[in-house]
Amino acid sequence: MSDTPAIEIRGAVKHFGSLSALAGVDLEIRPGEFFGLLGPNGAGKTTLISSMAGLQRLSSGSIRVMGHDVVEDYREARRALGVVPQELVFDPFFSVREMLRIQSGYFGLRRNDDWIDELLVSLDLMPKAETNMRQLSGGMKRRVLVAQALVHRPPVIVLDEPTAGVDVELRQTLWQFIRKLNADGHTIVLTTHYLEEAEELCGRIAMLKAGRVIALDSTVNILGRVSQHTLKLRVSDMNSLPDSLAPLGARLEDSVLRFPLETHARVEGILAAVREAGAVITEVEIAKPDLEHAFVEIMRGEGL
């Protein structure tokens, strides 16, 4: 495998007027990685991806895709990259197959029908191949966006919230196909709010906050930073967190109380305190550390 990074980002800064969307991002993604780029809304993920794709220029710094600078060597950098955007952007006047042939033409690929057919089959789009884009459901349109990003067989694939608002069947079909591409040597960069997906799929993760990388490590090591379990109690008759539970480290989210659990010996005391606060407990769960927990803790602690 080549020593050239799949993506190399050095000192990436992007200003929109007085707003700093990227505040000096340094990141290197190796060929063949399945890499997670996580962060809350407004962290700079989409700005970074748009800069990778050459859709906007950095205020300062540089980005290279497979060794090609996205500004100075735009044509080769773009050829090496396939991006699946968040937005459902499509031309309503063409069928699915016509869209993919047009996209092939952008990259100078004249005889690409065999690969187009493989994409249509792999993404379960063949029954819709001759259907006009505007007649497709949202989930089907998203499948077409994935096929468009892959039509020129790029070595690096960026998936920006690819499963947002789609059904379970599509999610499974998509991940099966993307896993195969990764196994075949493609570099995958994933942004997602479904942290269980990132935990399952990504070997390494970067977390962004306010335009900066505040955590960068293997998924295993990031999970290892949060060693404690969590006691989750679904409760009724509780609209706000009682003051008496705050010293126990409690958080209340959507009628679920969460407590950090250093030892199981704390469970009995926590249950008693919750009952004393007047809540009715309807469900009890002791959860192992997961990426969602680690994400929340790292965002709070600025990298821990």
List of domains in the chain? 7-223 (3.40.50.300), 228-288 (3.30.70)
The DSSP secondary structure of 152-176, one letter per residue, reads T--SEEEEESTTTT--HHHHHHHHH
Q: How far is CA 175 from CA 146, 172, 192, 290, in A?
A: 11, 5, 13, 20
The per-residue pLDDT for 240 is: 87
Tokens 């499974």, residue located: 172
For residue 286, give the nearest of 303, 304, 263, 302 by alpha carbon: 263
- Per-residue pLDDT of 28-53, as tens digits, reads 999 999 999 999 988 999 999 999 99
Query: What three-state secondary structure class fits 35?
Result: strand
Q: Which pair of tokens denotes residue 9? A: 């980002």
CA distance 164 to 41: 14
Condensed to tens digits (0 to 9), the pLDDT of residues 110-166 reads 889 999 999 999 888 999 999 998 898 888 888 899 999 999 999 999 999 887 767
* C-alpha to C-alpha distances, 84 to 20, 46, 257, 267, 281, nearest whole angstrom: 24, 11, 36, 45, 43
User: What percent of the chain is predicted at pLDDT more than 70?
Assistant: 97
Q: How confident is the model at residue 302 (pLDDT cuts 50, 70, 90)?
A: low
* Predicted TM-score (pTM) of this structure: 0.79
**Average of pLDDT values for 232-241?**
86
Q: How far apart are CA 190 and CA 297, in angstroms?
A: 21
174-203 confidence digits (pLDDT tens): 888 899 999 999 999 999 888 888 989 999
Q: Which residue has the tokens 């047009």?
A: 102
Mean pLDDT rounded to a whole number for the chain: 89
* pLDDT of the residue at 304: 45
- Residue 61 pLDDT > 60: yes
Checking DSSP bridges between strand 19-29 and strand 187-191, what pairing results, if any? unpaired
pLDDT number for residue 168: 80
State yes or no: pLDDT of 227 exceeds 70: no
**What are the b/e assignments for 179-217, b being 16+ CB within 10 Å?**
eebbeeebbbbbbbebbebbbebbebbbbbbebbbbbbb
Residue 66 has pLDDT above 50, yes or no: yes
pLDDT of 27 higher than 80: yes
Mind listing the pLDDT tens digit for each residue in 89-101?
777 889 999 999 9
Burial of 134 (0-12, 13-18, 19+ CB in 10 A): exposed
The larger pLDDT score, comparing residue 173 to residue 46, is at: 46
pLDDT digits (tens, 9 = 90+) for 263-284: 778 899 999 999 988 888 999 9
Provide mean pLDDT across the span 3-18: 94
d(CA 54, CA 51): 5
pLDDT over 80 (residue 225): no
